[in-house]
Structure 1
Amino acid sequence: MKIIDIKVATVPIKSKISNAYIDFSKMTAAVVAIVTDVIRDGKRVVGYGFNSNGRYAPTGLLQERFIPRLLEAESTDVLNDAETNFDPHKIWNVLMTGEKPGGHGERSVAVGTLDMAVWDAVSKVEEQPLYQLLADRYRGGEVDEKVFVYAAGGYYQPGKGLEELKNEMKNYLNLGYSVVKMKIGGTSLEDDLHRIESVLEVVKDGSCLAVDVNGRFDLDTAIKYAERLEPYQLFWYEEVGDPLDYALQAELSKHYKHSMATGENLFSMQDARNLIRYGGMRPDRDYLQFDCALSYGLVEYLRIIDMLKEHGWSPRRCIPHGGHQMSLNIAAGLGLGGNESYPGVFEPFGGFADHLPVENGYVRLPEVPGIGFETKSELRNLLHSIAV
């Protein structure tokens, strides 16, 4: 049993949308295919992975450092002790050989991309859905049959006024979502409040709307918004300041009593732990958005979950960023609180199985081996083109 090839490609994610910090007109993603010599159901097992939106493709790091390390590794360094499958934890150690601690920027994205493909291959070798494999290994076999998902949208876009924003949110509700999210912080406070109130005309109440600042605010602005947002009783107030400004987050928690969310731009267990230690996050109401595809993969995410439990946090407070099927499998298999979704945005990477609709804010997972990428037709076509 061995890895015989690893292919990588850079794929554009072109969109005119923007948040309070960046636009996505030149955004890219790296896609990898880990080709093995294992045959299941008459087909060669190939594991697929890609990085989440919001970070550019780490293709150079993959080609120059991480893929060569994995291809050069001995079989004892990548297989489990019984030599019946690949071992994601051993492979993670191979990938990180020679890497100093700290500096969790783009290399965490490269490792997370490969880690996704490894877990896809491992669960295909076992002929199990990844969520079931995770439940069997780490949760006594218990699987959540359906997962809460919310629709992330409401981006700033040329020519997009209040009516267009309202129609977008109506469409998400018609698709079966019960909670929607919109961007704020890219215009004035008064303009953002008009945008929020227009969406509140569409959704049931404030508990069905989350807002996302994408790290734009300083403390004074964060508090000014908090004072105006509090009466709406929103689902959450997200990533208000710089993701590494734990003092800002801690101070803001004194001024905003409702739920907040952050963590999508923290890329290691150590950074996640610093947020819990110093960021004033409240385990009874706040949410954590760590994204395994950006933060060294599921191997590191398991360490994050263990750390959270040690600090009195339930995995149910985790609702990962990214809107992809990897996080959906983790949510179902490890008992997280839900998953992000990007209906019609960042295609073909976002979204779930074609034949499983969102119903009352929840989605089920396909009963197929692996992560389930093959159940999403446009994504399947792209991934298979990489593996050729």
Structure 2
Amino acid sequence: MRIVEIREKTCPISSPIRNAYIDFSKMTLSLVAVITDVIRDGKPVVGYGFNSNGRYGQGNLMRERFIPRVLEADPESLVNADGSNLDPHKIWDCMFRNEKPGGHGERSVAMGTIDMAVWDAVAKIANKPLYQHLADEYGDGKPNREVFVYAAGGYYYPGKDDTMLQNEMRSYLERGYSVVKMKIGGASLAEDQRRIESVLSILGDGQRLCVDANGRFDMDTAVAYAKALDQYNLFWYEEAGDPLDYELQAVLRSYYRNPMATGENLFSMQDARNLIRYGGMRADRDWLQFDCALSYGLVEYLRTLDMLREHGWSPSRCIPHGGHQMSLNIAAGLGLGGNESYPDLFQPFGGFPDGVEVKDSRIVMPELPGIGFEGKSNLISVMQELSA
């Protein structure tokens, strides 16, 4: 058993939207196919992966360092003990060979994308949904196929007024979501409060709304927003300051009693551990958003979950960023609290397999081998072009 080839393609996911920090007018991602010599139904088993929005494609890093290391390795060094499947942990170690610790940056995205494709291949070779494979290997064998999802949107957009924002949120409610998210920090506090109140006029309950500042605020602005937002009783106040400014996050808890969320831009177990050690996050109410596709993949995410347990955190406090099916499988297989969802954006990479319905912000995972990409027709057609 061996990996025959690993292919990468940079794909555009551009959009005129913006958050408080960046616009998405030139956004890209990397699509990866891991082609194995295992034959099913007359065709090689292929694992697919892609990185989450917001970090651009990583093809050069993959082609120069990580893909050659895997393909040049002894194939027997990359399989499990009985030779029945690929071993994602051994493949991860192979990719990281000759890499210094620290300075995670874009490297973690490149490895995380390949790692996703490896896990897809592993679950397909095992002929199981990835969530079932994870429950069997790392849990009690009983996945929770019902997963909480929220609709992420509410971006700033040229000419978008409060009525358009309200219409967007209504469309999510009509599609079965009961919790939604909108962007803040790209306008004045007064304007953002007006936007929030216009959305709450539709939602009714503040617990149905998350707000996301995308790391834009300094300490004074983060505190000013915290004081203003407290009255709304929101589902969460997300990423107020720079993701590595643990002091800002720790101070903020003194001004904001309701749930906060952060972590999507922390790309290693070590950075996640520093957040838990020094960021003042509260295990009884706050949410962690580490995204495996940006942070070295599921192999590293498993280390992060182990670290969280050691510090008294439950996996159920994790709701990953990214809106991809990989994190849906992790949520179902390893007991996370849910997953982000992009109903309209970053297509065809966002969303669920065809026929999966959202009801009260929950979906039921279909029984598809691997991550389940083959169940999403507009996505698998793009993926199969790469592996053909």
Shorter-chain TM-score category? over 0.9
Q: TM-score normalised to the size of structure 1? A: 0.99
Counterpart of 2:231 in structure 1 is 231
Q: Partner residue of 2:321?
A: 321
- Give the whole-Å Cα distance in 2 for the aligned partners of 1:40 and 1:335: 30
| 1:42 Cα deviation after fit | 3.1
Write the distance in 2 (CA, Å) between the matches of 1:231 and 1:34.
49
In structure 2, distance between residues paired with 1:14 and 1:262: 24
Name stretches of at least 5 consecutive residues in structure 1 with no aligned partner.
none
Instruction: State the 4+ residue runs in structure 1 displaced beyond 6 angstroms.
Output: none
CA drift of 1:286 comes to: 0.1
- Counterparts of 1:156 and 1:62, CA distance in 2: 33
1:209-253 CA-to-partner distances (Å, cap 9, x unmatched) read 000000000010001111110010000000000000000000001
Look up the match of 2:143: 143
- Which moves more between the two structures, 34-43 or 16-25? 34-43
Rounded to whole Å, the distance in 1 between the matches of 2:180 and 2:127 is 35
**Are 1:30 and 2:30 matched, yes or no?**
yes
Who is 2:341 aligned against? 341
Kindly state the Cα deviation for residue 77 of structure 1 after the two structures are TM-superposed: 1.7
Deviations 1:319-357 (A, max 9, x none): 000000000000000000000000110111111111111
Aligned residue type for 1:365: M
Pairing 1:285-364 to 2, within 5 Å after superposition? 285-364=285-364
The percent of aligned pairs where both chains have the same amino acid is: 67
Task: Specify the alignment match of 1:240 in structure 2.
Answer: 240
Distance 2:316 2:140 in 1: 17
Shift in Å, 1:385: 0.7
How does 1:372-387 map onto structure 2 within 5 Å?
Answer: 372-387=372-387
More deviation, 324-333/42-51: 42-51
Q: How does 1:8-23 map to 2 (within 5 A)?
A: 8-23=8-23
Counterpart of 2:158? Answer: 158
SS at match of 2:266: coil
Cα deviation, residue 142, structure 1: 1.5
> What whole-Å deviation, never above 9, does each CA across 1:43-72 have from its counterpart, x for those lacking one?
310000000001011110001000000100
User: Superposition pairs for residues 101-180 of structure 1, below 5 Å?
Assistant: 101-180=101-180
Instruction: Tell me how far 1:204 sits from its aligned partner.
Output: 3.0
* Letter in structure 2 aligned against 1:227: K
Match of 1:370 in 2: 370
CA-atom RMSD, angstroms?
A: 0.6
Match of 1:214 in 2: 214
Deviations 1:160-216 (A, max 9, x none): 000000000000000000100000000000000000000001113100000000000
**Structure 2, unaligned stretches of length 5 or more?**
none
After TM superposition, give the deviation of residue 41 of structure 1 in Å: 3.2
Partner Cα distance (2:117, 2:109) in 1? 13
Q: Deviations over 1:122-142 (max 9, x none)?
A: 000000000000000111102
Match of 1:5 in 2: 5
Match of 2:189 in 1: 189
Q: Name the amino acid aligned to 2:193.
A: L
CA–CA distance in structure 2, aligned partners of residues 42 and 370 of structure 1: 18
Amino acid at match of 2:161: G
Q: Output the CA distance in 1 between the equivalents of 2:18 and 2:130.
A: 33
Secondary structure, aligned partner of 1:202? helix
Aligned equivalents of 2:41 and 2:122: distance in 1? 15
Partner letter of residue 174 of structure 1?
A: E
Q: Any idea what SS the aligned residue of 1:249 has? A: helix
Distance in 1 between residues matched to 2:144 and 2:55, nearest whole Å: 30
* Alignment-mate amino acid for residue 266 of structure 1: L
User: Which residue of 2 is the match for residue 259 of structure 1?
Assistant: 259
Q: Secondary structure at the match of 1:201?
A: helix
Amino acid aligned to 1:107: R
Which amino acid in the other structure matches residue 374 of structure 1?
A: E
Distance in structure 2 (CA, Å) of the matches to 1:197 and 1:350: 28
Matched pairs, number: 388
Q: Distance in 2 between matches of 1:42 and 1:150?
A: 39
Distance 1:172 1:187 in 2: 23
Q: Which amino acid aligns with 1:18?
A: R
Per mean C-alpha deviation after superposition, the further-off stretch among 357-366 and 333-342 is: 357-366
